[in-house]
């Protein structure tokens, strides 16, 4: 309202208060490595998109400065996480409650990140399917706070990538599954050991859907190894 209705007498106050609240929300929404606190790539990209839309609206109305000079700096690790989490063909693993997403949508996200961060070659490379920029050099990317580790032979669609999930989730966040030790493997366009993704969010009443969700989240229904302790 402060952006779009500047003719109202309290518009400046609305903008100042909301911009401060939004800028201070980053540590609540994201862990210190940039991953969403829910540990779910689908919700992660939705949250990033909201921050970008707010910034773009402010910029179009000449008010981006209200959100602080470090707004984009604080958002960058969360955009980078998306690029690192995705396989070389711009698909991703369905860890936790992450859902399927088309490569065209993921590349569109990458292109929007590249517009915000023209100096970040990784976004340009992935958004253009490797036709622009240069191939990123990283073969290992670590997100230690959230517990995601990505190993690559390269960033081309013909390369290989293994992603290892070991989420630090003592509060049992709702969209995470109890399957630490799970891996996903991509080789030359094929997905091996795919994670099952969500089946149901339950009904939050302790009914049958909650029981199904608990069963689906269990480690025995994922690509991991467990050890029973006597």
Q: Is the pLDDT of residue 147 over 70?
A: yes
CA-to-CA distance for 58 and 218, rounded, in angstroms?
A: 44
pLDDT of residue 156: 95
Beta strand spans in the chain (E)? 140-143, 148-152, 160-165, 182-187, 190-192
Q: Which of 100, 86, 118, 116 is nearest to 42 (CA)?
A: 100
Neighbours of 191 (CB within 10 A): 16
- 62-94 residue pLDDT tens: 999 999 999 999 999 999 999 999 999 999 999
Residues 6+ apart with CB under 8 A from 176: 38, 39, 40, 96, 97, 167, 169
Euclidean distance between CA atoms 196 and 98, whole angstroms: 9
Whether this model's pTM surpasses 0.85? yes
Stretch 20-44: mean pLDDT: 96
Burial class of residue 11 in the structure, from the number of CB atoms within 10 Å of its CB (0-12 exposed, 13-18 middle, 19+ buried):
middle
pLDDT (mean) for 130-156: 96
pLDDT number for residue 204 = 66
For residues 90 and 26, is the Cβ–Cβ distance under 8 A?
no
- pLDDT of residue 179 exceeding 90, the answer is no
Cα separation of 182 and 125, whole Å?
28
């Amino acid at each position: 309202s402060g952006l779009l209705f500047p003719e109202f007498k309290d518009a400046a106050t609305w903008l100042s208060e909301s911009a401060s609240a939004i800028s201070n929300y980053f540590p609540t929404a994201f862990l210190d490595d940039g991953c969403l606190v829910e540990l779910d790539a689908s919700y992660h990209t939705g949250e990033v998109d909201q921050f970008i839309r707010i910034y773009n609206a402010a910029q179009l109305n000449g008010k981006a400065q209200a959100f602080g000079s470090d707004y984009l700096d604080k958002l960058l690790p969360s955009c980078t996480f998306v690029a690192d989490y995705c396989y070389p063909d711009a698909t991703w693993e369905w860890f936790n409650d992450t859902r399927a997403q088309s490569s065209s949508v993921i590349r569109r996200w990458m292109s929007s990140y590249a517009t915000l961060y023209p100096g970040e070659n990784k976004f340009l490379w992935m958004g253009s399917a490797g036709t622009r920029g240069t191939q990123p050099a990283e073969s290992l990317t670590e997100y230690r706070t959230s517990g995601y580790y990505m190993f690559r032979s390269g960033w081309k669609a013909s390369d290989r990538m293994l992603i290892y999930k070991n989420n630090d989730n003592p509060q049992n966040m709702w969209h995470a599954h109890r399957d630490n030790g799970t891996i996903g493997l991509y080789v030359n366009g094929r997905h091996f050991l795919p994670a099952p993704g969500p089946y149901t969010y339950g009904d939050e009443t302790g009914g049958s859907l909650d029981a199904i969700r608990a069963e689906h989240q269990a480690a025995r229904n994922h690509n991991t190894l467990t050890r029973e302790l006597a």
